[in-house]
Amino acid sequence: MNTIAVLGSANMDLVVRQARLPRPGETIFGAGFSTVPGGKGLNQAVAAARLGADVTFLGAVGADAYGTELRALLVSAGIRSTELATADAPTGTAHISVVDSGENSIVVVSGANATVTTLSVEQRAVVADSAFLVMQCELPTRVLAEGIALARAAGVFTVLTPAPVVPLPPGFLASVDLVVPNRGEAAELTGESEPVRAAEVLSAGGRWAIVTLGSEGSVVAFDGEALGLAPARPVTAVDTTAAGDTFVGALVTRLAVGYVRGTAVTPDQMIEAVRYATVASSIAVTRAGATTSMPTRGEVDAILA
């Protein structure tokens, strides 16, 4: 198994379950409340580790109770976090409303994540020694650009989840090997409302793009051409909070099996990885929470057997 470096956010998710979203100015009752470790970076790292990947996490938390809990989770998940910084800022939080249909709305307060503006010497060494660098847009784009440049120079395969959609420097997306947005993010990045066309635009220039469509599956494209629609696995969703992050963590985990660093990923490899990730994310949405919903390798393998 090749090493995966995740450069990303670590938050404590503050989750309220409710029948519906309130109207402006309205107060409603919720059905339940929980605190769950999250953040897109930490979620993807845990998803990959739970499926057997060799993962190192790079980011920052605060010197507070939430930061202590997130560090403990990384250790228990078998994720190396020696280069996880302690910032002079509170640990990031995500305020999540989950309605009865399983859909969610999220407001993120970046906290310590916003302090990650450059990589330390030790963090740069981790990136350069990895086979994959996995990123999201919950850290400042400056440090993401630094990570991408370092990875490209070292022959490291780069993966970006462009969420949330933020202003990106010219050429930023063109420097990424694989971009994995959802339908809305792909449309916002490309101006194309049709997911297949958006995937083709994002993949132009010799890159991979996978546009996730929830219960409709995902579109896979390479070098400006859509390879097809990967169908979803039908399930009854309880909470979709971690669906996308589980998909990415599982996708990279599968790509890392037998991957030769510095070589191109083949269509067969990518399609097999998408199939694996589809099953993993389908399991996650049947459970509540982010990291608490992510499946083990045994659970995914049992469905694929």
Q: Annotated binding residues for K(+), as ranges? A: 239, 241, 284, 287, 289, 293
Handedness of CA 114, 118, 122, 125 (dihedral sign): positive
Q: Give the span between the Cα atoms of 210 and 203, in whole angstroms.
A: 9
Residue list, annotated binding site for ATP: 182, 212-217, 244-245
For 26, the token pair is 């309205």
Lookup: tokens for 266? 């083949």
User: From the annotation, which residues make up the binding site for substrate?
Assistant: 11-13, 39-43, 138, 245
Within 10 A of 18 (CB to CB), how many other CB atoms are there? 16
Q: In what order do the strands lie in the sheet with 104-109?
A: 32-38, 11-18, 92-99, 104-109
Interior CA angle at 269 toward 266 and 271, to 5°? 105
> Which residues contribute to the annotated binding site?
11-13, 39-43, 138, 182, 212-217, 239, 241, 244-245, 284, 287, 289, 293
CA distance 212 to 229: 10
Residues 6+ away with beta carbon under 8 Å from 11: 37, 38, 39, 42, 91, 92, 93, 94, 108, 111, 113, 138
Residue 64 is a catalytic residue: no
Rounded to an integer, what distance in angstroms lies between the CA atom of residue 262 and that of residue 19?
49
The one catalytic residue in 54, 64, 129, 245 is 245
> Residue written as tokens 């280069």?
83
Q: Which residues are catalytic?
A: 245
